[in-house]
Structures are given as C-alpha cells and as structure tokens.
Amino acid sequence: MAASLFGIFPGIGGPEILLLLVLGVLLFGRKLPDIGRSFGKTIVEFKKGVKGIEDEVNEPTQPRAAIEPEPVKAPQRVTPSSAPKFDDAPAPGNAPPKV
C-alpha cells in the first residue's frame, strides 16, 4: 500500500497532487491572481475579527459609574386659593334630556 500525504485521502500521493495542481493552473490560470487576492483579503478580515473578539474578552472590566438618585422632595401642601374651582351645577345648554 502506498503512503499518502493526507490521511483523509489514502490513495492520493505526490504525483496525484502534482497532476491536480497542473489541472488547476490550466483551468483557473487567468483567475488565480484574483482568487489568491480574494482569499488573502478573507484571511485578513477573519484575523481582524478574531483579534477584536479576543480584545473584547481580555479587556479588563471597568466599574460602571454609579447613578446618583435625585433627592426626595417633601410633599407640598395645596392651599385652597390655588386649588381649581368646580361648579356643581351643569351648564345651561348642556343638561341631559328628561325622559
């Protein structure tokens, strides 16, 4: 049995990988720089995201500033002169109809 480079594909050896690379260059030759550039940008963005998460996790937690409540005010008395006045009698034109 032949030794393989990859444990996942036991029948693939050096010559098979070389053949796959040649076929890849023939099929995607003109697109390889674009594919490589896109792959590189993807890796850079992934690393930035992982670093951002690591920084967020490793960031020391800062105590939050305490919110001071407003002081409680004593209730104020309502003097009779400032209380609203209501008339107990209905207005002359707004009386309900008699049945």
Question: b vs e for 78-95, b when ≥16 Cβ sit within 10 Å of the residue's Cβ?
Answer: eeeeeeeeeeeeeeeeee
Percent of the residues in the chain that have a pLDDT greater than 70, as a whole number: 69
Instruction: Tell me which residue of 36, 37, 38, 9 sits closest to 24, measured CA to CA.
Output: 36
Q: Is 37 exposed, middle or buried (0-12, 13-18, 19+ CB in 10 A)?
A: exposed
pLDDT band at 68; cut points 50, 70, 90? confident
Report d(CA 57, CA 81) in Å as an integer.
63
Please give the model's pTM, rounded to 2 decimal places.
0.38
Report d(CA 67, CA 76) in Å as an integer.
26
Query: Residue 83 pLDDT > 70, yes or no?
Result: no
Q: Which residue has the tokens 């693939």?
A: 12
pLDDT at position 45 is 95
* Domains in the chain: boundaries: 30-57
pLDDT band at 1; cut points 50, 70, 90? very low
Mean pLDDT score across all residues of the chain: 79
Say how many Å lie between the first and final Cα of the chain, rounded: 111
Q: Alpha helix locations (H) across the chain?
A: 14-28, 32-58
Query: Residue 17 pLDDT > 60, yes or no?
Result: yes
